[in-house]
Structure 1
Amino acid sequence: MSDILKKLTKEMQKVQDPKRFTHTLGVEYTAAALAMRYGEDVERAQIAGLLHDCAKCMENDKLLSACEKYHLPATDVEKRNPYLLHARVGSYLAKKEYKIEDPEILSAILYHTTGRPGMTLLEQIIFTADYIEPGRKQAPNLTQIRHLAFTDLDAAVTKILEDTLEYLKSGDGEMDPMTEETYNYYKKNESIK
């Protein structure tokens, strides 16, 4: 394990509760496996996996104040549901606190919950790894999505987005419009294949 990975692992263990840290290690592991499968740089995937939830354990008011303090944009949906800001604040912290300069790693952290139309390979890997890591048990169609993740990453991303939208529509949670926009993009591209 490289020095940067050792350092970041120790840092995440300090700022995350044990359950979140276990999830983080699962995402790092899964991101590395997907990176090997698809030819992405493994260490970059591991770094993004380790840092994807670096702001997840912050309280809602701290996430909102971090956005104000650091002049980070927040949508109306995010302001009403501040927990959604952990990806935006996390991307900022990855750069400022953990000294990550790679724009693709920062972007993978930023979009790991909603995705975005036209994601890079690394962004898709982190988005997918967060959903399928070994500790996840509750998501519908998890077995199918885990299989797809290693056979057709675009199809896995589309299915994750579809299931996420279905879940959000059936509950009381508010949906980030980016999730639907991303789903529509991947669904359209899937029909073109």
Structure 2
Amino acid sequence: MDFTREELMTAVSGQMPERRWGHTLGVMESAVALAHRYGEEPERADLAALLHDVAKYWPIDQQESVIRDNQLNMELLDYDRQLLHAEVGAFVAKERYGIEDSGVLDAIRYHTSGRIGMTKLDKIICLADYIEPGRDFPGVERIRELAKQSLEEALVAALDSTISFLIEKRKRIFPMTVLARNDLIRQISR
């Protein structure tokens, strides 16, 4: 089940609207730049970024079925449906596209929620998803500037933005996101 990069790009781009594919290309560009800046393998960052939203536009009931049928993280089913595609995407990357690098799979899995003990690649993909060139929301320029200085500082700012948005909308916050933020604060404080 070996796919060339071009075959993967064709397969992934065919599963999303053109605008989302543009987002994916932006995440790939940002992830590779962050990998170079922070000493991660650019090829791994590129691959994780390419696949990070592979299941984003699957019907929600299909995403829920993949989680249930494969005993994935069932806790996700109790929170915002926007979290599902990351878990499903990691599963699809492994099962459909033959990705075996557990670090790449985890970076896909945790790109929306974060986690305690995020690896450098986890941080890069999560942050690249926030700061890719097509993103335009209040505070994104500040996060982009922070990304030039510190992965952790930028990611805390990004998670703060997400948490604030969820609070403002009176939505439930996935506990792992809060734990990821707290862990990053701990890392910065050392």
| TM-score of Structure 1 vs Structure 2, range by shorter chain | over 0.9
CA distance in structure 2 between the aligned counterparts of 1:13 and 1:160, rounded to whole angstroms: 26
CA distance in structure 2 between the aligned counterparts of 1:154 and 1:82, rounded to whole angstroms: 26
Mapping of residues 46-125 of structure 1, within 5 Å: 46-75=46-75, 78-125=77-124
Q: Any conservation in 2 of the 1:131–1:160 contact (CA below 8 Å)?
A: yes
CA distance in structure 1 between the aligned counterparts of 2:180 and 2:78, rounded to whole angstroms: 21
Residue matched to 2:23 = 23
Q: Any conservation in 2 of the 1:64–1:79 contact (CA below 8 Å)?
A: no
TM superposition shift of 1:188: 2.6
Q: Which blocks of at least 5 consecutive residues in structure 1 are unaligned?
A: none
Residue matched to 1:180 = 178
TM superposition shift of 1:11: 0.9
Residues 152, 83 of structure 1: alpha-carbon distance in 2 compared, 3 angstrom cutoff: closer
CA distance in structure 1 between the aligned counterparts of 2:124 and 2:110, rounded to whole angstroms: 11
Q: Any conservation in 2 of the 1:60–1:83 contact (CA below 8 Å)?
A: no
Q: How many residues are treated as equivalent by the alignment?
A: 188
Identity of aligned residues (%): 41
Deviations 1:118-171 (A, max 9, x none): 211111000000000001002x32111101112111111111111111111111
Deviations 1:21-40 (A, max 9, x none): 11111101110111111121
Q: Which blocks of at least 5 consecutive residues in structure 2 are unaligned?
A: none
Residue matched to 2:44 = 44
Q: Any conservation in 2 of the 1:63–1:83 contact (CA below 8 Å)?
A: no
TM superposition shift of 1:78: 2.7
Residue matched to 2:11 = 11
Q: Any conservation in 2 of the 1:74–1:85 contact (CA below 8 Å)?
A: no
Please, what is the CA RMSD of the aligned residues?
1.4
